[in-house]
Amino acid sequence: MQFSEKLIFLMNITQTSNKELAVELGVDRSLISLLRSGKRGVPKNVKRMARVFAERSTADFQRYALSDMLGILALRSALPVQEVAAYLEKWLLEDRDMVRDVEKGVLDLKDIPEAPALQEIPDPVVIPEGQAIFYFGDEGRREVLLKIMQQVRQAQKPCTLLMVVDDNMEWLLSDYALTKRIQTELLELAHSGVRFCQIVPPMNYVNRYTESLQFWLPLYATGNLETYYYPRLRGNLYRHSIYVLSGQCAQFNASIGSGGVSDVTMFTREKVLVDVFERQFRAHLSMCRPAMAVYSSLAECVGKVSGFLANQTDTVQMINTLSLNSMPVQLLEQFISQSRGQEERTAILESIRDRMPEFEARLEERTCIDMCRVAPVREILAGEVSVGAHSDSLHYTPRAYILHLENILRLMEKYDRYIFVPLRDRNPLEYNLMANEEGMALIVRSTPPRIMLEVRRSELVVAFRENMLHRADTLGYDGIHRERICMELRSLIQELKKAAKERL
């Protein structure tokens, strides 16, 4: 992002006017207008600017917006203003440092600001068999989680970790270093043969899905996490969580209200207690229903995607490449021709082609938000960009990518309800997300092996949808943002045309 875009984002979420910011910085407000328009670069008083925005970002929704934009989960917690200001200052300066490097003609990686190094977290002391030890507060919960992970690493594979996660996980997400370590270890364990069986909170805890969604999504995408929910209403006064590694260890946590100081967490390797908690988990599981269905065959995946694209309600998706919905008919015909002999893939492309008039008619009344990763020119020229959310055989040529971008511009100019939000992720997304208003959500893994998860619980679908809408709101897509996006797409088209011409 350019500095001007970051400034607009910060002013929007803090409701700061040009005049207010000018007064805080002791400058003329015409300078703020120049900064917002991109006619001036990073100012000298950026440190003071970061402090101003940090002081005005104390509400939960503001901290979550900053966390999503900067990619720093620690910002969601009650960090002191000075620490938030330090993160913001570094973020605001990133653009200036990179521009300076390009001007020098050498991209010196050591000059680009990096995320702070994760603090080394020591492994916990091993608890002997036959003991049960109690811990208190959030620190106790973190220590016990490390003990659970230690036991799972040492267990004979394959094995299954049973989990009841009946809280908002703020005790974990507020510790950025520990969050990243646990998330990484869970993925490594999944790839080593560990499976996970999870019972998620009851339906009156919908907000908690959204809060912890980013933590669990990578594990969902492995296909090694089975998720269930209890279908009946129940009170939310008491909260608890259970982790059981059969025959090895168990953790039980209980708290009242928001937790924290009221938490008490037990960790045990006493076999009798482990067996009791496993029986308790399985009794709970017998009253639950699957929250997701897992598909691995191409035919199943194609059928689900076709059903999603045929839906007539508002839709939002966050995908690794340009959406098939926005592909021009002549390009669809070209890829259909290239897919001959692959019946399922041909079928979905033909289905989209046949529904194209219906899709555009729907845009008169229904909103479609496509959040798509826009590939770098290098990847496009190298023929590395896949067609569709999961294609291992069809790839864009530069000319095909240009045609698709031109059609996206046409849709944006013709239909106010078609919203395109470019994702500027340097690396491909690990998964693709799709959700609509009719209670359908899909998670599609981006890399082999092919895995698709269909979210079956309506409240969880809402959480997925709200998570994506929140990201779209944070990135910006209407008004000046829509104009900026169109300008970026036109600029990319010209760059691709120039690069393709030079290659001839």
Same-domain status, 279 and 302: no
Q: What is the mean pLDDT of residues 157-177?
A: 82
The answer to which of 16-20, 102-106, 150-154 has the lowest mean pLDDT is 102-106
pLDDT for 341: 72
pLDDT for 38: 80
Same-domain status, 327 and 419: yes
Q: How far apart are CA 443 and CA 455, in angstroms?
A: 8
Residue where a domain stops, chosen among 272, 290, 308: 290
Same-domain status, 346 and 400: yes
pLDDT for 430: 75
Residue 496 binned pLDDT confidence (cut-offs 50, 70, 90): very high
pLDDT for 163: 95
pLDDT digits (tens, 9 = 90+) for 373-398: 999 899 999 988 888 765 567 899 99
Same-domain status, 92 and 161: no
Same-domain status, 339 and 403: yes
Q: What is the mean pLDDT of residues 170-199?
A: 87
Q: Mean pLDDT in the chain?
A: 81
Residue 101 binned pLDDT confidence (cut-offs 50, 70, 90): very low
Whether residue 473 is predicted with pLDDT greater than 50 in this model: the reply is yes
Confirm whether 446 is domain-assigned. Answer: yes
pLDDT for 208: 53
Whether residue 369 contacts residue 317, with contact meaning beta carbons closer than 8 Å, is answered with: yes
Residue, of 53 and 4, whose pLDDT is higher: 53
Residue 281 binned pLDDT confidence (cut-offs 50, 70, 90): very high
Same-domain status, 183 and 283: yes
Same-domain status, 72 and 215: no
Residue 351 CB partners (closer than 8 Å, separation 6+): 306, 309, 310
pLDDT for 468: 86
Same-domain status, 140 and 199: yes
Residue where a domain stops, chosen among 111, 140, 156: 111
Q: What is the mean pLDDT of residues 39-68?
A: 84
List the domain range (segments joined by +) for residue 187: 132-290
Range with top average pLDDT, 102-106, 141-145, 215-219, 304-308: 141-145
* Number of neighbours of residue 31 by Cβ within 10 angstroms: 16
Same-domain status, 446 and 366: yes
Same-domain status, 260 and 143: yes
Residue 266 binned pLDDT confidence (cut-offs 50, 70, 90): very high
Whether residue 206 is predicted with pLDDT greater than 70 in this model: the reply is no
Whether residue 443 is predicted with pLDDT greater than 90 in this model: the reply is no
Q: What is the mean pLDDT of residues 144-172?
A: 88
For residue 205, give the CATH number of its domain.
3.30.870.10
pLDDT for 102: 28
Structurally, how many domains does the chain consist of? Answer: 3
- Counting Cα atoms < 13 Å in the Cβ hemisphere of 265 gives 25
From first CA to last CA, the distance across the chain in angstroms is 32
Which two three-digit tokens encode residue 451? Answer: 């895995």
DSSP 466-477: HHHHHHHHHH--
pLDDT for 99: 32
Confirm whether 122 is domain-assigned. Answer: no
Residue 345 binned pLDDT confidence (cut-offs 50, 70, 90): confident
pLDDT digits (tens, 9 = 90+) for 236-262: 667 788 999 999 999 998 877 554 445
pLDDT for 219: 87
Same-domain status, 103 and 160: no
pLDDT for 95: 46
Whole-structure pTM value: 0.64
Q: Which long-range contacts (CB under 8 A, 24 or more apart) does 472-481 make?
A: 472/316, 472/369, 472/371, 472/419, 472/421, 474/9, 474/13, 474/65, 474/68, 474/69, 475/371, 475/421, 475/423, 476/8, 476/9, 476/12, 477/369, 477/419, 477/420, 477/421, 478/419, 480/8
Confirm whether 123 is domain-assigned. Answer: no
Q: What is the mean pLDDT of residues 44-62?
A: 87
Confirm whether 119 is domain-assigned. Answer: no
Residue, of 282 and 257, whose pLDDT is higher: 282
pLDDT for 113: 34
The answer to which of 144-158, 199-213, 437-451 has the lowest mean pLDDT is 199-213
Residue where a domain stops, chosen among 246, 266, 290: 290
Looking at the DSSP bridge assignments, the partners of residue 249 are 245
Same-domain status, 140 and 95: no
